[in-house]
């Protein structure tokens, strides 16, 4: 009783204390962006401003009152709330008042964490808002913690990671939508009064149709080098929702978080519900700057082994499919060495005995090598790789199960499905119930066993080909609405255990191509597979889309036999991401092997530029005729320019000099075409070998484009 009394006294005092300190404003931001919160006379915390940093401290007090930072259902508000609960006694409403805020010291001076506490006046429900800023990278990360002290569980219907308010004349939203083979297609639309939602309900392989990414042009359509733009993403490998609600006065409310669809959460007293992090950056110099900031942030703080090397590789999926044996693979291993790549990656089809994995209809779940194909197991292949001087990596899809598998026969209760209906399938498989700790142990065990049996196994490609189908968890019993959330939490438990025990093993995130592409997963993965579509022209678009958010070193890009374009064109496209090959090496001529080997050498030599440097997108493929992009190293001494002539129309008006970017105007640079195929006719380029000032290159540009369809160039640019 005494504690309750104190609680209420504190509650009444806190808003007053904030004002008494002359501190009714909370300034959260970076040297380039301001998010200003302000306490209203009624004790509500409101967002007074979000935008480019305000130059004069004195101006802050002139800011309008703003709107509540985290509207609860039941407050005086007529739009979508950030949080909605039903209290233990059935009461549906909540009103959140400001209680306190603190700036928590961090060991890294670049990072500031501000924590704001809000509380309901009547019920003991508390919401903490976390704002973490990364000063150098101009990135803001937001999440919330929701908890309560009611006698029984409350139902959390929705609890956003963040709510932001924007006020401008117009907004232009770019989504990254697609499907298998056509991921991250960028499409922009002007927002109109009403709601626009980007979301997914697929559970696993969550981003198959819509990636958890958006760009919002504020005031004008987002453009590469000018204008205000907000880039946002959610660190969550499951159902997400970005909701944009514009009122008739053109004020915009942006709510980001877990998709509340079919996901009411029963939250026991004392348990903290932590939402995933919403990550955003705001640029007033277009999307190019925003992407570079996100890339830096990812390498510095989020991506697994963000500054580490990446392994170039040869994969066998595209050329062998399921049809291989130990001898086939040994040839591939030796050819990996000929290509000069670091590793051979064995794909699907190596496992299961009762129901051998000879096609995609069976075997998932039984992770022992198929005796008939690999009589001496994986060990023999790892040893062969050792002899050839390359590393060995392996494909797994440990979250999934085939009905024709020993795992399914032994543990039908480990599988997400309705007990009373015929299951429906995606790629003939079902999803394991990762809500169940026993299943988590099993999935961890797949990796753990492979690594204990083969300690020099160097890499995993972790696939996830099915969304959650037949959505019912045998483990969750009467808490089925926890499925989509607990699945992802279960997945993270497993990935965290792997990271703890094997911190240095690189892993590729794959999901039937790019069906998972989020920074939540990427804290456990060194890269993700952008798409099974490796046709180089489509790939230019797919990689262009992902480049808005992800640095090159995190985007897996392989040279394959998709498309009829030259080997050079395919290689020049793959070299703008993390280079690999997935090609029938037995069909390559000696000259082609020599070309690939040279390209791998160039890629490795230039890795400090492409993988660690700054990306400048110069000519968008969406313009239709050409594409061009370049990377510049942090010292601005070295750059690499990639240009692609897609389907240029005839006539000089379609050819223009490509102006470079990001160089030092005062430095002199030598430009030189590399990655040439010996003996192959190329369009002559007169400027090759010339020395130009950075100023010239950025104002006049290089005449590198051609009228030839599907032609490409790689230009190395070196300060003299
Ligand atoms: C998915 C992946 C492919 C390949 C196959 C194997 O589709 O995206 O790269 O690994 O699975 O079945």
Report whether residue 397 contacts ligand 1, using a CB cutoff of 6 Å.
Answer: no
**Strand partners for 404:** 362
Q: Strands 25-29, 691-693: parallel, antiparallel or unpaired by DSSP?
A: unpaired
Q: Is 15's pLDDT higher than 70?
A: no
Distance CA 295, CA 284 (A): 17
Could you tell me the strand order of the sheet in which 626-632 lies? 614-619, 626-632, 638-645, 711-719, 668-674, 691-693
Tell me how far the alpha carbon of residue 635 lies from the centroid of ligand 1, in angstroms. 38
State in Å: Cα 426 to ligand 1 middle.
Answer: 14
Residue 3 reports pLDDT greater than 80: no
Q: What are phi and psi of 595, to 5 degrees?
A: -65, -45
Structure confidence at residue 624 (pLDDT): 87
Q: Is the CB of 465 under 6 A from ligand 1?
A: yes
SS (H, E, C) 527-591: EEECCCCCCHHHHHHHHHHHHCCCCHHHEEEEECCCCCCCHHHHHHHHCCCEEEECCCHHHCCHH
Instruction: Supply angle C-alpha 271, 82, 163, rounded to 5.
Output: 110
Find out whether the beta carbon of 317 lies less than 6 Å from any atom of ligand 1: yes
Q: Which of 347, 358, 513, 516 to mutate to test the pocket of ligand 1 (most atoms within 8 A of CB)?
A: 347
* Residues in contact with 421: Cβ distance below 8 Å, sequence separation at least 6, in sequence order: 470
Q: Which of 207, 319, 512, 583 to mutate to test the pocket of ligand 1 (most atoms within 8 A of CB)?
A: 512
* CA-CA-CA-CA dihedral for 275, 179, 164, 63, to nearest 10: 150
What pLDDT is attached to residue 683?
Answer: 85
Q: How long, in residues, is the chain?
A: 720
Per-residue model confidence (pLDDT) at position 5: 46
Q: How many Å apart are CA 302 and CA 297, to the nearest integer?
A: 7
Q: Dihedral through CA 658, CA 661, CA 663, CA 667, nearest 10?
A: 40
Rounded Cα gap, residues 492 and 498, in angstroms = 10
Query: 390 C-alpha to center of ligand 1: Å?
Result: 22
Q: What is residue 477's predicted lDDT score, i.e. its pLDDT?
A: 97
Give mean pLDDT, residues 11-39.
72
Q: Residue 21 pLDDT more than 70?
A: no
Please report the pLDDT score of residue 191 as a whole number.
98
DSSP H helices in 611-693: none
Spatial neighbors of 440 by CB under 8 A, at least 6 apart, are 434, 490, 493, 494
Q: What percentage of residues in the chain have a pLDDT greater than 90? A: 94
Q: Are 524 and 504 in contact (CB under 8 A)?
A: no
pLDDT of residue 538: 97
Residue-wise pLDDT for 512-545, tens only, equals: 999 999 999 999 999 999 999 999 999 999 999 9
Asked if the model's pLDDT at residue 661 lies above 70, the reply is yes
pLDDT at residue 237 in the model: 98
Contact 233, 254 (CB under 8 A): no
Q: Are 621 and 371 in contact (CB under 8 A)?
A: no
Question: How far is 350 from 668, CA to CA, in rounded Å?
Answer: 53
User: What distance lies between CA 487 and its chain's CA centroid?
Assistant: 19
Q: What is the pLDDT of residue 348?
A: 98
**Cα gap 403→106, rounded to integer Å:** 49
Burial label, 589 (beta-carbon count in 10 A; 0-12, 13-18, 19+):
exposed
**Rounded Cα distance, 3 and 486, in Å:** 34
The 3 state secondary structure assigned to 351-414 is ECCCCCCCCCCECCCCCCECCCCCCCHHHHHHHHHHHHCCEEEEEECCCEEECECHHHHHCHHH
What sign does the dihedral 346-348-350-351 (CA atoms) show? positive
Asked if residue 330 has pLDDT above 60, the reply is: yes
- In the reported structure, the alpha carbon of residue 528 is separated from the centroid of ligand 1 by a whole-number distance in angstroms of 12
**3-state DSSP call for residue 446?**
helix
The pTM for the full model equals 0.96
Asked if the model's pLDDT at residue 1 lies above 50, the reply is: no
Interval 625-631 mean pLDDT: 97
**Nearest alpha carbon, ligand 1 atom 6:** 348
Its sign, for the CA torsion 664, 670, 671, 675, is negative
Distance 646 CA to ligand 1 centre (A): 27
Report the chain's terminal Cα–Cα distance, integer Å.
Answer: 77
Q: 236 and 258 in contact (C-beta within 8 Å)?
A: yes
Kindly report the three-state secondary structure assignment for every residue of 285-306. Answer: EHHHHHHHHHHHHHHHHHCCCC
| 513 CA closest ligand 1 atom index | 8
**For 189-214, what is each residue's pLDDT tens digit?**
999 999 999 999 999 999 999 999 99
Q: What b/e sequence results for 256-280 when a residue is b if at least 16 CB atoms lie within 10 Å of its CB, and e otherwise?
A: bbbbbeebbbebeeeeebebbbbbb
Interval between CA 512 and ligand 1 midpoint (Å): 5
User: Rg for the chain (alpha carbons), in Å?
Assistant: 27
**Mean pLDDT of all residues in 583-587:** 96
* Distance set, CA 51 to CA 25, 33, 54, 202, 668 (Å): 16, 6, 8, 33, 37
Q: Residue 53 pLDDT more than 60?
A: yes
**pLDDT digits 0-9 by tens, 263-313:** 999 999 999 999 999 999 999 999 999 999 999 999 999 999 999 999 999
- Please indicate whether residue 277, judged by its CB atom, sits closer than 6 Å to ligand 1: no
Query: For atom 1 of ligand 1, which residue has the closest CA?
Result: 512
Q: Can you give the pLDDT at residue 11? A: 41
347 CB less than 6 Å from ligand 1? yes
409 alpha carbon to ligand 1 midpoint, in Å?
A: 25
Q: Is the pLDDT of residue 592 over 60?
A: yes
583 in Cβ contact with 561 (< 8 Å)? yes
Q: List C-alpha distances in Å: 226 to 229, 256, 286, 289.
A: 9, 25, 4, 9
**Do the Cβ atoms of 635 and 663 come closer than 8 Å?**
no
- Under 8 Å between Cβ of 503 and 243: no
Neighbours of 353 (CB within 10 A): 15
d(CA 365, CA 446): 9
- Mean pLDDT value of segment 155-171: 98
**Measured between alpha carbons, how far is 138 from 285 in angstroms, rounded to an integer?**
12
At residue 404, does pLDDT exceed 70? Answer: yes
Asked whether 554 and 308 are in contact (CB, 8 A), the reply is no
| DSSP states along 420-438 | TS----BTTEEEB-TTSHH
Per-residue pLDDT at 649 exceeds 70: yes
- Whether 232 is in the pocket of ligand 1, judged by its Cβ within 6 Å, is no
Quote the pLDDT of residue 16: 36
Measured distance CA(393)–CA(401) in Å, rounded: 21
The tens digit of pLDDT for each residue in 235-252 reads 999 999 999 999 999 999
Q: Tell me the angle at which helices 437-453 and 377-388 cross, rounded to the nearest 10 degrees.
A: 50
pLDDT of 184 > 60? The answer is: yes
Strands (DSSP E) contained in 106-204 are 111-120, 125-134, 139-148, 154-159, 162-167, 171-177, 185-190, 194-199
- Rounded Cα distance, 8 and 14, in Å: 10
pLDDT of residue 23: 56
Longest dimension (CA), the chain: 88
Is the beta carbon of 510 within 6 A of some atom in ligand 1?
yes
Q: Is 486 in the pocket of ligand 1 (CB under 6 A)?
A: no
In this model, does residue 176 exceed pLDDT 70? yes
Q: Is the C-beta atom of 183 inside 6 A of ligand 1? A: no
| Atom number in ligand 1 closest to CA 510 | 8
Mean pLDDT of the chain: 95
Nearest protein Cα to ligand 1, atom 7 = 512
**What band does 652 get if pLDDT is binned at 50, 70 and 90?**
low
- How many H-runs (helices) and E-runs (strands) does the chain carry? 13, 37
Contacts for 174 with CB less than 8 Å, ≥ 6 apart: 186, 187, 188, 214, 215, 216, 217, 222
Which H or E run includes 488?
helix 483-501
Q: Give the SS3 label for residue 68.
A: strand
Work out whether strand 154-159 and strand 83-86 pair parallel, antiparallel, or are unpaired. Answer: antiparallel
């Amino acid at each position: 009783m005494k504690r309750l009394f104190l609680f209420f006294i504190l509650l009444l005092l806190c808003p007053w204390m904030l004002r008494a300190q002359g501190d009714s404003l909370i300034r959260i931001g970076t040297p380039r962006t301001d998010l200003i919160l302000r306490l209203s006379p009624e004790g509500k915390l409101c967002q007074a401003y979000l935008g480019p940093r305000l130059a004069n401290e004195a101006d802050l007090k002139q800011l309008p009152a703003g709107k509540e930072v985290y509207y609860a259902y039941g407050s005086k508000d007529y739009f979508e709330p950030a949080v909605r609960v039903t209290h233990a006694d059935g009461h549906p409403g909540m009103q959140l008042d400001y209680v306190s805020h603190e700036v928590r010291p961090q060991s890294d001076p670049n990072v500031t964490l501000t924590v704001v506490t809000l509380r309901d006046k009547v019920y003991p429900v508390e919401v903490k808002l976390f704002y973490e800023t990364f000063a150098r990278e101009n990135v803001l990360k937001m999440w919330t913690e929701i908890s309560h002290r009611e006698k029984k569980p409350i139902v959390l219907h929705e609890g956003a990671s963040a709510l932001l308010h924007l006020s401008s004349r117009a907004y232009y939203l770019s989504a990254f939508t697609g499907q298998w083979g056509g991921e991250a297609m960028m499409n922009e639309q002007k927002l109109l009064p009403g709601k626009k939602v980007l979301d997914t309900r697929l559970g696993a392989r969550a981003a198959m149709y819509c990636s958890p990414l958006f760009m919002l042009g504020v005031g004008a359509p987002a453009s590469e080098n000018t204008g205000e733009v907000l880039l946002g993403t959610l660190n969550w490998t499951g159902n997400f929702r970005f909701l944009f609600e514009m009122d008739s006065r053109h004020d915009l409310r942006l709510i980001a978080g877990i998709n509340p669809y079919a996901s009411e959460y029963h939250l026991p007293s004392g348990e903290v519900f932590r939402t995933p992090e919403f990550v955003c950056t705001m640029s007033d110099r277009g999307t190019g700057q925003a992407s570079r900031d996100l890339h830096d942030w990812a390498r510095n703080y989020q991506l697994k082994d963000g500054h580490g090397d990446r392994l170039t590789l040869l994969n066998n999926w595209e050329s062998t499919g399921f049809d291989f044996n130990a001898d086939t693979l040994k040839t591939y291993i030796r050819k990996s060495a000929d290509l000069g790549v670091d590793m051979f990656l064995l794909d699907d089809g190596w496992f299961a005995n009762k129901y051998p994995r000879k096609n995609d209809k069976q075997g998932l779940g039984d992770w022992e090598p198929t005796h008939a194909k690999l009589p001496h197991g994986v060990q023999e292949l790892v040893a062969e790789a050792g002899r050839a001087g390359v590393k060995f990596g392996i494909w797994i899809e440990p979250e999934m199960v085939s009905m024709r598998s020993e795992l399914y026969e032994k543990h039908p209760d480990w599988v997400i499905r309705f007990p009373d209906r015929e299951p429906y399938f995606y790629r003939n498989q079902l999803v394991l119930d990762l809500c169940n700790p026993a299943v988590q142990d099993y999935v961890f065990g797949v990796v753990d066993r492979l690594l204990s049996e083969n300690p020099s196994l160097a890499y995993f490609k972790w696939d996830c080909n099915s969304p959650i189908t037949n959505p019912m968890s045998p483990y969750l019993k009467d808490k089925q609405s926890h499925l989509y959330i607990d699945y992802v939490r279960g997945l993270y438990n497993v990935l965290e255990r792997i990271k703890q025990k094997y911190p240095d093993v690189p892993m590729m995130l794959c999901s039937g191509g790019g069906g998972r592409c989020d920074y939540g997963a990427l804290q456990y993965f060194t890269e993700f597979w952008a798409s099974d579509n490796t046709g180089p022209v489509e790939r230019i678009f797919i990689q262009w889309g992902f480049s808005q958010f992800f640095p090159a070193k995190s985007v897996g890009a392989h040279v394959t036999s998709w498309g009829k374009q030259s080997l050079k064109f395919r290689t020049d496209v793959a070299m703008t991401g993390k280079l690999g090959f997935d090609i029938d090496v037995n069909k390559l001529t000696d000259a082609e092997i020599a070309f690939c080997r040279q390209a791998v050498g160039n890629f490795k030599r230039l890795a400090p530029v492409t993988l660690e440097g700054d990306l400048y997108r110069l000519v968008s493929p969406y313009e239709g005729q050409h594409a061009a992009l370049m990377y510049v190293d942090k010292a601005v001494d070295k750059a690499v320019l990639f240009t692609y002539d897609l389907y240029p129309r005839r006539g000089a008006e379609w050819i223009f000099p490509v102006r470079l970017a990001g160089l030092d105007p005062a430095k002199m640079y030598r430009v030189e075409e590399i990655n040439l195929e010996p003996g192959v006719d190329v369009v002559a380029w007169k400027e090759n070998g010339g020395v130009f000032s950075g100023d010239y290159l950025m104002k006049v540009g290089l005449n590198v484009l051609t009228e030839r369809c599907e032609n490409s160039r790689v230009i190395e640019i070196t300060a003299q």
